[in-house]
């Protein structure tokens, strides 16, 4: 089933990720050597990433023409764990590498201008490059350990870049300063957001690690192709022991956390404290897709395992089905939940962040749904997985564009809120066109790429008979159209809410303008040429581990598609009607009407989930820590007060026996001699 | 393999000579610091060579041995195998670099004490005690015999006690005494159990060294008599006290917080971890049956220690005391790995020793940077925003924390991976609810570590510069990049280096760990 | 044989001629101390000679010197030398100075018979000789307190001698029945009479060596007596009594029937003695008192080794017996040497608060004190470590619990040893020790360190 694999040495293909690590390393050395010139770092970073991108492109050519490549370092890196230094490039890996490297390149160029004059620019580009390398390693690693290293590397870079402005000036916060929900603050400093991101993802990563450990113990390898070909064996073994489902879920915790799926979605929204290019790259286009990549990689493997066990081990099949259903359900819930939050947000990047999590939910839904198509065999699987991948790709492109545009808008508005923004279309023609292109793609309007990919996802859910997931997906499609349209409408066309703070904007400088314009256009081109794009992705999936069958990503105009499209257009219409002809004064409505306020606050405060987490985990653990510190005090008092006092009393008591009178001593002496005699008598009676 | 030259004896004697030179020349720190750096690096460098050549995979034995078999003791070898290699590397590298670090720190400290009207012994005495302390720890890791181990254990205790008593902070008279008593109690319990083994086995040798490598001398008893259990408990409790496991950790926060910082950087990761090593090297081969019956309790104790230490650390306001509790928590990881009784877990624990050695040394040295340069600043509440003023120190501290948390690209990841595999292997027969509970427990434990690490990173380094610091004149660019900070960063970077160059370490760790775990099979 | 006898009698002669020479020469003459030194040297030669020619039978077997006793004799001469060194020229200024210089050789003469005695009457004679010398020595210095201590010592000592008399009598009753010479205990049976005899011995020797509960006089006498004299009484003289104790226990437990019970009694006494000494010493701030209680505890450790001996003696071939004997020899040496150097430190001031930093003026003396205290605590690489190791090691064959108790006791003792060490070696303070005391400390520490480094060789030396 797996196509013929070309095996090469470590060079050249492992350079895809290695060269970026090298770049990051050199940047670090330059910093230590005292080089301060920021251009060196910016363009140094761009150069390395460009090299990676070119290599990825060359690799893609190879893979598409000749099939998968396995680039392997001759010696075992970690002999004990059988960990190799290898790069496995199949259809999925190479498409991911392409997306990651080229997007990174564009965003790096944008960053050169965006970060100009920033006091931490050297650190920024170091972590940026480090991130790109880690992400490329993640998607091309031949084994789980290497993937985990990339995985954690992206986490580290994400932590560092979210907290890039760790001095925590108010302009870099997320949320309205002073706002509280259920008594918990709803505003987050960059350094706080960094810790949040790290904690949320770290918790998931431990799950991933546990899963890896168990699978390794059964199979004796971390090698992904080897795990794929032995899937039925180890899955069958786990199913016989009755732990397949919990294990798969634990294994997938890392993916859920990384891709900000409910209940781990909270970290992503506050990650917006990072510089906007970082949000575009890491928290929209690439890193958060790591979880989706994980699903794209492992759903086929789990599928293959379950498929092989279809007739011999019903327990395994049942567990796999439950797993796919749960993952799809989580995706759908996330998509819906985050969509509702985006509706009321007034922070530009936050709207996009909600939207990102929501769209990630789609990808989970589609990919997990693919696994459920067991009866349809590999063809069904391929189509579902291809749907997930295609949405990943189109989302990466348009969301990166949107974020990059947002970066510029926030710059010109001197505010992260959309209230002081408005009528920007008049001043920024190209930007307006770009945001419309990208926005329409997000809304799922044909002929943009987002339309096709989203429909493919929904199609997969429908095929898998996930009625709840499908319904939520459809509702979310409408929500998506509404919030995206509202955002563009308010920023680019309507009068600003907060007129006093409005500044006259101007078009972005070329280095920033062109990256997002290109991305918006790409989004359009991919859509226009969907027959080609879809085919390419379908073929790529055909070259993917455990899939082996090309997918057919052709969207036909079915009733379903019509309904979704109509709903999207209708919601656009409603938003338009509310804002333009009816001129509803939303702030006043919220102030005056209780129902409106309750609903608004519920959504604005993110369903109060954040507050609940803080009560349970932050306050809860703080409480436990307080109790434990009392316990610690008790332990300390026992050892360092009670015991010494006891001994001191004993010492004083024993010394008090020696009162210094001879007759008294003689009495004691004779008394004890007699006692000893008595004892000996008793013993030797 | 027998080494061509008595390399391990040289590694022990040279620091002693340097130390004695310190007694002669009492006020000149610089040559002593440099000499200490060089001689303490020798075992690390030698080990690195043996790693590369693969000799450690069996064992590298010093040709000079002391045969006391006729005197009821056994043979004193000095040797390194895969199990002790991470320990030796950790001790060598950390003690060497901290020796250099201590030059500036201790000069300032002694000056400060003299200004306060005290009369601490000069820096020469410091380097004498320092070198004795370092070599005794090294010798413990090189020992093949229980009495040999105990011998150096007590030497390390006396030297570190004097270092605290002479140069410590706070109520150092009381704290040094407290440190001595508790760890001496630990040593006494260990010795009591050891004697029992000696009586039964006829000597105190733990391993038999042959040309093909080492084999464990199997205990003379197979049936677990009541007194065997008592002996095992004595050894285990003794090592637990030394290791500061939850419940008997009471002495550690005082000693490690109030010791002069270079000594904290040795005490915390190096010394207490040796007790963990001794569990794997001595206690398990002596009492495999006992360990098997105690496994679940030990795992629970380990997890408790991790979580307890981590959460109590979070409430500390003193940077060094925070680090001390963090060490308690980290010892939980060592115990967790060992308690699994699997080769992965045991190997992971040894590797964690090394990564903790790097990480915690870096963090204590970071604390020392602020103590030295910011007028004894230790209160975390007065810190904040230090990253802009001290970017390189902050980078080193971040790497230090990553070692503790187990994030790549630091060595900590490998130990985390191995320990996790070990735990899952030990509990490979769990049912679904058990698996979920275990996973949650692990997530909680690792999560707490990440929490205290990164929350503290934020408290110290991020945010706006606190007023207290502004008044001191701290501002961006305040950091001077001298050798003092270079060594801090260097230790952190060596941790990253070992992450990459893990091959030879793992190659030798595997057979050694498997040798230990094979004793448990029966 | 002749050689040994002539050596010992020369020592006796020195002690007899010293007062006469003192009458003829001036008070500060170097001849008198010189003669005493000669006696100590001769005694050391005696020890070496005995060691190389062991076993040596004297007086038809009434006195037997073997390798074990040879090592004790060497230890005694070492401790005596250190005590003599520490006192320096000071005794020369006492009105009774010739007494000091003549009694010291006489005491050495007595100890020779004490450690070698194989017969109860020999024990009695040597005992009386050595006891009276200790009384007189303690009463020699002019301070009132020291003399009061001596009087107390004599009072209770008389009582102890009474018990010794009971033992001698009982021993002769048994041996005349058997018609043989030497300790009668080789065929001891567990009956009431034997019990009385054993009790009498333990009570008597318990008084001399400070075994709880017969130790009552010890803390007051040791803490009030003159440091130099206490150094002699607790150093060379006590080593001899410990030798006697060991010999009698070996003889008594030869019988399979009683060895177990004797071991049990000794174990109980050991636990009592160690614990009492260690706990009582814990909080005192008086250095001399601390040393006094620590002396009790140290004897407790020796009792642990004796327990092993009692338990193992019926099985003669056991190599652990050698280890236990080595342990006792080492521990007695380490104890005697350290104590005879440490007690004189209290000559001027015995409060730890005042002694703090006392030695900072003299780094070498400080380091030496530290070594002696650490050796008493049982720290490697000092001699005390090997003593405790072998004592406890051999006792493990009897009971792990006893050994654990002993080790925990030893750990507890670190509280007062280390506190004293910390105070004495911490910087600050202005008083400097007298040069003679410094020299004694350095010599003692050097011996403890060197012997510590070759500690295990003791075992080989015994076999």
CA–CA separation, A116 and C285 (whole Å): 70
pLDDT of residue C52: 92
Q: Is residue A185 part of a domain?
A: yes
A 10 A CB-CB count for C314 gives 15
Last residue of a domain, one of A564, A586, A604: A604
Please tell me the predicted confidence (pLDDT) of residue A685: 59
Cα dist from A142 to A148, A155, A545, C355, whole Å: 11, 20, 11, 71
Residue A92 confidence (pLDDT):
93
A638 and A565 within one domain: no
Quick one: pLDDT at residue C383?
A: 94
Element (H, E) at B101: helix B85-115
Give the three-class secondary structure for C314. Answer: coil
A347 and A393 housed in the same domain: yes
| pLDDT value for B363 | 97
* Pairwise CB contact (< 8 Å): A652 & C283: yes
**Whole-number average pLDDT of chain B:** 92
DSSP state of B77: -
The pLDDT value recorded for residue C268 is: 94
Exposure b/e, B106-135, CB count within 10 A at least 16 = b: bbbbbeebeeeeeebbbbbbbbbbbbbbbb
Report the residue from A650, A662, A677 with minimal CB separation from C279.
Answer: A650
β-pairing verdict for C56-58 and A83-89: unpaired
User: Is the residue at A426 inside a domain?
Assistant: yes
Residue pair B90/B354 in contact by the 8 Å Cβ criterion? yes
Looking at residue B321, what is its pLDDT?
95
> d(Cα B516, Cα A97) in Å, to the nearest integer?
44
Please answer yes or no on whether A668 and C213 come within 8 Å at the CB atom.
yes
Among C275, C320, C285, which Cα is nearest to C422's? Answer: C285
> Which among B173, B199, B231 is the nearest to C393, CB-wise?
B199
Q: Could you tell me if A663 and A523 lie in one domain?
A: no
Report the pLDDT value the prediction gives residue C118, as an integer from 0 to 100: 86
User: Contact A152/B407, CB-based, under 8 Å?
Assistant: yes
Q: Does the residue A1 lie in any domain? A: no
Q: What is the average pLDDT across A63-89?
A: 90
- CA pair distance C111, C117, nearest whole angstrom: 10
Size of interface B-C (CB pairs under 8 A): 103
Cβ-based contacts of C279 with chain A (< 8 Å):
647, 650-651, 654
Helices C319-342, C363-377: inter-axial angle, 10-degree rounding: 150
Distance between alpha carbon A678 and the CA centroid of its chain, in Å? 82
What pLDDT was estimated at residue C431?
67
pLDDT above 70 for B34: yes
Chain-chain contact of A640 with B250 (C-beta, under 8 angstroms)? yes
Judge if A640 and A532 occupy the same domain.
no
B167 and B140 in contact (C-beta within 8 Å)? no
In a domain, A673, yes or no: yes
Residues A209-240 have pLDDT tens digits of 999 999 999 999 999 999 999 999 999 999 99
* Structure token digits, residue A377: 């065999």
DSSP A548-585: -S---------HHHHHHHHHHHHHHHHHHHHHTTS---
Q: What is the CA radius of gyration of chain B?
A: 22
Instruction: Let me know: does C409 contact C333? Beta carbons within 8 Å.
Output: no
**Pair (A445, A587) in one structural domain:** yes
pLDDT, residue B227, reads: 83
Q: Write the CA distances from A258 to A154, A262, B280, B469, C144, integer angstroms.
A: 10, 11, 37, 37, 86
Report the number of distinct structural domains present in chain A.
2
Residues A667 and A526 in one domain: no
CA–CA separation, A371 vs A364, rounded Å? 11
d(CA C117, CA C69): 10
Beta bridge partners of B208: B215
Query: Measured between alpha carbons, how far is A583 from B142 in angstroms, rounded to an integer?
Result: 82
Do A416 and A449 belong together in one domain?
yes
**B120 and C427 in contact by Cβ < 8 A?**
yes
A561, A582, A604 — which closes off a domain? A604
Mean of the pLDDT values across residues B412-431? Answer: 94
C241's tokens: 């009594």
Cβ–Cβ gap C202/A676 under 8 Å: yes
Cα angle for residues A265, A618, B460 (degrees, 5° grid): 100
> Three-state DSSP class for A89?
strand
- Angstrom distance (rounded) from CA A598 to CA A241: 48
Categorize the per-residue pLDDT at A659 as very low, low, confident or very high, splitting at 50, 70 and 90. Answer: confident
β-strand B74-76 against A184-185: which pairing, if any?
unpaired
pLDDT more than 90, % of chain A: 79
Q: What is the mean pLDDT of each run of 10 residues along chain C (463 residues)?
A: 88 90 80 91 94 88 90 95 89 80 92 90 92 89 82 88 89 66 59 83 92 90 87 92 92 84 93 95 90 95 95 82 92 95 83 74 85 93 92 92 94 92 77 85 94 85 79
Assess A681–C contact: CB distance below 8 Å, yes or no.
yes
Q: Cβ contacts of residue A176 below 8 Å, gap of 6+?
A: A186, A187
CA-wise closest residue to B41 among B123, B107, B98, B126: B98
Q: Residue B222: which pLDDT band, with cuts at 50, 70 and 90?
A: low
Q: For residue C390, what is the nearest residue in chain B, using CA coordinates?
A: B72
The answer to whether residues A552 and A600 belong to one domain is yes
Could you report the predicted ipTM of this complex, rounded to two decimals? 0.92
Residue A72 has φ and ψ, to the nearest 5°, of -135, 135
- Pick from C319, C392, C418: which is nearest to B177 by CB? C418
Chain B nearest-CA residue for C392: B195
User: Can you give the pLDDT at residue B220?
Assistant: 52
Residue pointed to by tokens 């918006």: A520
Answer with the one of A604, A623, A647 that is the final residue of a domain: A604
Are residues B436 and A250, on separate chains, in Cβ contact within 8 Å? yes
Where b means 16+ CB within 10 Å and e means fewer, A13-24 reads bbbbbbbbbebb
pLDDT by residue (tens digit) across B111-127? 999 999 888 888 999 99
Q: Are strands A83-89 and A69-78 parallel, antiparallel or unpaired?
A: antiparallel
Strand partners, C351: C286
Give the lowest-confidence range in A357-371, B152-166, B466-480.
B466-480
Q: Which pair of tokens denotes residue A215? A: 């699978």
Residues in C closer than 8 angstroms to A675, CB to CB, are 213
CA distance C222 to chain A (A): 12
**pLDDT tens digits, A577-601:** 999 999 888 989 999 999 999 999 9
CB contact under 8 A, A198 and B414: no
- The pLDDT value given to residue B219: 65
Interface test with B, best of A30, A191, A222 (most B CBs within 10 A): A191
Optimal mutation site among C205, C282, C310, interface A, most CBs of chain A within 10 A: C282
Please count the other Cβ atoms lying within 10 Å of the Cβ belonging to residue C17.
Answer: 14
CA distance B249 to A636: 9
Residue whose C-alpha is closest to residue C356's, from C291, C434, C294, C425: C425
pLDDT, residue A3, reads: 60
pLDDT per residue as tens digits for the range B471-482: 988 988 888 889
Contact present, A24 and A136 (Cβ < 8 Å):
no
E strand or H helix that includes residue B194:
helix B172-201
A657 phi, psi to nearest 5 deg: -65, -25
Distance from C-alpha of C145 to C-alpha of C149, rounded to nearest angstrom:
6
Q: Which residues of A touch B506 (CB under 8 A)?
A: 78-81
| A598-657 residues touching C, CB cutoff 8 A | 647-648, 650-652, 654-655, 657
Q: What is the pLDDT of residues A262-315, one digit of tens each?
A: 999 999 999 999 999 999 999 888 999 999 999 999 999 999 999 999 989 999
Is the pLDDT score of B509 beyond 50? yes
Domain with A650, as residue range(s), is: 613-683
Q: Is the pLDDT of residue B221 over 60?
A: no
* Cβ within 8 Å, pair B443-A632: no
Task: For chain A, give the number of residues.
Answer: 685
pLDDT of B198: 87
Nearest CA in chain A to B310: A625
Label residue A1 by pLDDT band (50, 70, 90): very low
Say yes or no: B366 contacts chain A, CB-CB below 8 A.
no
**A-C C-beta contacts closer than 8 Å:** 93
Helices then strands, counting H and E runs in chain B, come out as 21, 6
Instruction: Say whether both A520 and A663 belong to one domain.
Output: no
- Reported in sequence order, the residue ranges of A489-639 that DSSP labels E, i.e. its strands, are none
């Amino acid at each position: 089933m797996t196509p013929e694999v070309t095996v090469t040495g470590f060079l050249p293909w492992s350079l895809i990720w290695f060269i970026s690590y090298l770049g990051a390393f050199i940047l670090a050395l330059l910093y230590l050597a005292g080089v301060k010139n920021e251009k060196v770092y910016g363009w140094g970073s761009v150069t390395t990433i460009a090299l990676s991108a070119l290599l990825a492109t060359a690799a893609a050519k190879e893979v598409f023409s000749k099939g998968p490549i396995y680039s392997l370092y001759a010696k075992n890196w970690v002999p004990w764990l059988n960990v190799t230094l290898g790069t496995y490039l199949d259809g999925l890996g190479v498409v991911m590498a392409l997306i990651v490297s080229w997007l990174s390149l564009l965003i790096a160029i944008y960053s050169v201008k965006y970060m100009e004059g920033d006091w931490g620019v050297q650190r920024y580009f170091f972590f940026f490059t480090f991130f790109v390398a880690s992400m490329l390693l993640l998607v091309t690693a031949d084994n789980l350990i290497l993937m985990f290293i990339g995985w954690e590397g992206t986490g580290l870079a994400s932590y560092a870049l979210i907290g890039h402005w760790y001095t925590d000036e108010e302009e870099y916060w997320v949320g309205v300063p002073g706002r509280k929900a259920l008594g918990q603050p709803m505003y987050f400093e960059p350094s706080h957001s960094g810790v949040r991101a790290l904690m949320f993802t770290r918790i998931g990563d431990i799950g991933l690690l546990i899963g890896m450990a168990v699978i390794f113990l059964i199979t004796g390898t971390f090698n992904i192709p080897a795990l794929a070909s032995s899937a039925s064996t180890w899955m069958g073994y786990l199913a016989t022991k009755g732990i397949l489902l919990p294990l798969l879920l634990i294994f997938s915790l890392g993916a859920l956390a990384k891709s900000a799926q409910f209940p781990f979605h909270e970290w992503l929204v506050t990650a917006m404290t990072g510089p906007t290019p970082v949000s575009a790259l890491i928290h929209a286009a690439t890193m958060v897709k790591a979880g989706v990549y994980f699903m794209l990689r492992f759903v086929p493997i789990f599928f293959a395992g379950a498929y092989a066990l279809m007739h011999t081990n019903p327990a395994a099949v049942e567990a796999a089905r439950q797993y796919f259903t749960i993952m799809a359900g989580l995706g759908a819930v996330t998509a819906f939940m985050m969509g509702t939050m985006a509706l009321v947000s007034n922070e530009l990047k936050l709207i996009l962040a909600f939207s990102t999590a929501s769209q990630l939910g789609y990808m989970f839904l589609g990919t997990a749904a693919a696994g459920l198509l067991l009866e349809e065999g590999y063809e069904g699987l391929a189509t579902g997985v291809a749907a997930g991948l295609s949405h990943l790709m189109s989302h990466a492109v348009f969301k990166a564009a949107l974020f990059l545009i947002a970066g510029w808008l926030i710059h010109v508005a001197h505010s992260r809120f959309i209230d002081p923004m408005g009528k920007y279309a008049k001043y920024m023609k190209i930007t307006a066109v770009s945001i419309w292109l990208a926005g329409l793609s997000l809304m799922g309007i044909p002929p943009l790429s987002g339309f096709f990919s989203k429909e493919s996802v929904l199609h997969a859910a429908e095929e898998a008979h996930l009625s709840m997931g499908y319904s939520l997906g459809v509702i979310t499609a409408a929500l998506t159209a509404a919030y995206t349209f509202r955002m563009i409408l308010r920023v680019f066309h309507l009068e600003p809410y907060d007129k006093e703070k409005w500044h006259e904007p101007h078009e972005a400088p070329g280095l920033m303008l062109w990256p997002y314009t290109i991305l918006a256009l790409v989004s359009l081109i991919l859509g226009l040429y969907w027959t080609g794009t879809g085919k390419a992705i379908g073929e790529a999936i055909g070259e993917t581990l455990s899939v082996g069958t090309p997918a057919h990503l052709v969207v036909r105009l079915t009733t379903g598609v019509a309904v979704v499209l109509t709903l999207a257009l209708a919601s656009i219409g409603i938003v338009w009607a509310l804002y333009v002809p009816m001129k509803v004064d939303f702030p006043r409505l919220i102030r005056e009407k209780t129902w409106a306020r309750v609903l608004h606050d519920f959504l604005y405060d993110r369903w109060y989930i954040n507050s609940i987490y803080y009560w349970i985990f932050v306050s809860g653990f703080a409480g436990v820590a307080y109790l434990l510190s009392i316990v610690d005090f008790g332990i300390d008092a026992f050892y360092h007060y009670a015991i010494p006092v006891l001994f001191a009393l004993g010492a004083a008591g024993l010394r008090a026996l020696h009162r210094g009178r001879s007759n008294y001593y003689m009495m004691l002496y004779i008394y004890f001699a007699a006692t000893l005699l008595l004892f000996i008598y008793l013993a030797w009676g | 393999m027998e080494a061509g030259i008595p390399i391990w004896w040289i590694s022990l004697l040279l620091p002693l000579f340097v130390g004695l030179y310190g007694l002669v020349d009492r006020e000149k720190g610089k040559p002593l610091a440099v000499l200490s750096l060089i001689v303490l690096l020798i075992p690390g460098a030698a080990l690195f060579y043996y790693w590369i050549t693969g000799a450690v995979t069996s064992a590298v034995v010093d040709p000079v041995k002391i045969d006391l078999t006729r005197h009821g003791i056994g043979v004193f070898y000095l040797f390194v195998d895969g199990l002790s290699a991470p320990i030796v590397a950790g001790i060598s590298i950390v003690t060497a670099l901290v020796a250099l670090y201590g030059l500036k720190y201790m000069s300032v400290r002694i000056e400060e004490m003299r200004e306060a009207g005290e009369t601490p012994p000069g820096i020469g005495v410091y380097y004498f005690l320092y070198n004795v302390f370092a070599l005794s720890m090294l010798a413990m890791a090189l020992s093949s015999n229980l009495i040999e181990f105990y011998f150096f254990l007590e030497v390390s205790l006396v030297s570190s006690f004097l270092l605290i008593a002479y140069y410590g902070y706070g109520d150092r008279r009381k704290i040094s005494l407290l440190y001595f008593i508790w760890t001496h109690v630990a040593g006494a319990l260990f010795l009591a159990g050891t004697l029992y083994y000696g009586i039964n086995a006829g000597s105190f040798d733990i391993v038999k060294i042959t040309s093909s490598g080492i084999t464990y001398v199997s205990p003379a008893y197979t049936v677990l008599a009541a007194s065997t259990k008592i002996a095992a408990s004595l050894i285990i409790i003794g090592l637990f006290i030394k290791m500061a496991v939850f419940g008997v950790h009471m002495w550690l926060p005082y000693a490690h917080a109030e010791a002069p910082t270079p000594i904290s950087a040795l005490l915390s990761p190096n010394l207490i971890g040796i007790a963990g090593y001794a569990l794997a090297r001595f206690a398990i081969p002596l009492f495999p049956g006992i360990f098997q019956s105690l496994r679940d309790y030990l795992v629970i104790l380990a997890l408790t220690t991790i979580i307890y230490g981590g959460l109590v650390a979070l409430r500390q306001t003193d940077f060094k005391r925070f680090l001390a509790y963090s060490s308690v928590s980290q010892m939980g990881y060592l115990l967790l790995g060992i308690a699994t009784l699997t080769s992965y877990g045991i190997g992971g624990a040894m590797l964690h020793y090394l990564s903790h050695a790097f990480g915690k040394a870096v963090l204590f040295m970071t604390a020392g940077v602020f103590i030295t340069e910011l007028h004894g600043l230790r209160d975390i509440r007065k810190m904040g925003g230090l990253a802009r003023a001290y970017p390189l120190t902050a980078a080193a501290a971040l790497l230090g924390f990553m070692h503790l948390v187990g994030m790549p690209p630091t060595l900590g990841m490998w130990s985390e991976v191995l320990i996790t595999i070990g735990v899952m292997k030990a509990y490979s027969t769990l049912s679904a609810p058990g698996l979920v509970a275990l996973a949650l427990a692990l997530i909680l434990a690792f999560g707490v570590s990440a929490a205290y690490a990164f929350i503290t990173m934020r408290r110290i380094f991020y945010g706006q510069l606190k007023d207290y610091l502004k008044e001191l004149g701290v501002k961006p660019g305040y950091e001077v990049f001298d050798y003092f900070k270079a060594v801090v960063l260097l230790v952190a970077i060596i941790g990253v280096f070992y992450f990459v160059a893990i091959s030879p370490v793992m190659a030798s760790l595997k057979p050694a760990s498997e040798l230990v775990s094979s004793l448990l099979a029966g | 044989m002749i050689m040994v006898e002539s050596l010992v009698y020369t020592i006796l002669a020195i002690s007899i001629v010293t007062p006469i020479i003192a009458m003829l020469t001036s008070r500060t003459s170097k001849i008198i101390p010189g003669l005493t030194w000669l006696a100590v040297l001769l005694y050391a030669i005696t020890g070496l000679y005995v060691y190389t020619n062991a076993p040596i039978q004297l007086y038809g077997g009434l006195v037997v010197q073997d390798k074990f006793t040879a090592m004790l004799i060497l230890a005694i001469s070492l401790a005596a030398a250190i005590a003599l060194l520490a006192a320096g020229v000071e005794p020369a200024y006492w009105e009774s100075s010739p007494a000091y210089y003549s009694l010291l050789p006489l005491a050495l003469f007595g100890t020779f018979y004490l450690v070698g005695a194989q017969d109860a009457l020999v024990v009695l004679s040597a005992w009386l000789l050595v006891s009276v010398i200790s009384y007189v020595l303690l009463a020699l210095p002019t301070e009132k307190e020291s003399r009061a201590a001596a009087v107390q010592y004599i009072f209770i000592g008389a009582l102890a001698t009474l018990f010794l008399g009971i033992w001698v009598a009982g021993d002769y009753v048994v041996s005349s029945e058997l018609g043989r010479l030497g300790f009668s205990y080789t065929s001891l049976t567990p009956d009431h009479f034997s019990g009385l005899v054993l009790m009498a011995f333990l009570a008597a020797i318990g008084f001399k060596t400070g075994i709880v509960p017969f130790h009552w006089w010890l803390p007051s006498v040791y803490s009030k007596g003159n440091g130099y004299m206490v150094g002699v009484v607790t150093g060379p003289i006590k080593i001899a009594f410990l030798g006697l104790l060991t010999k009698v226990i070996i003889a008594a437990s030869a019988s399979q029937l009683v060895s177990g019970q004797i071991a049990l009694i000794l174990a109980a006494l050991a636990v009592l003695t160690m614990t009492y000494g260690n706990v009582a010493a814990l909080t005192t701030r008086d250095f001399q008192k601390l040393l006094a209680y620590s002396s009790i505890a140290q004897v407790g450790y020796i009792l642990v080794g004796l327990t092993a001996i009692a338990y193992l003696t019926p099985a003669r071939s056991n190599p652990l017996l050698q280890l236990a004997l080595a342990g006792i020899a080492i521990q007695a040496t380490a104890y005697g040497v350290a104590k005879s150097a440490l007690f004189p430190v209290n000559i001027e001031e015995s409060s730890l608060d005042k002694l703090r930093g006392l030695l900072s003026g003299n780094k070498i003396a400080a380091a030496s004190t530290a070594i002696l205290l650490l050796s008493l605590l049982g720290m490697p690489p000092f001699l005390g470590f090997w003593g405790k190791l072998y004592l406890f090691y051999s006792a493990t064959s009897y009971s792990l619990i006893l050994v654990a108790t002993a080790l925990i006791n030893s750990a507890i003792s670190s509280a007062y040893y280390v506190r004293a060490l910390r105070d004495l070696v911490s910087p600050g303070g202005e008083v400097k020790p007298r040069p003679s005391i410094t020299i004694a400390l350095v010599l003692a520490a050097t011996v403890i360190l060197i012997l510590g480094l070759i500690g295990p060789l003791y075992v080989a030396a015994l076999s």
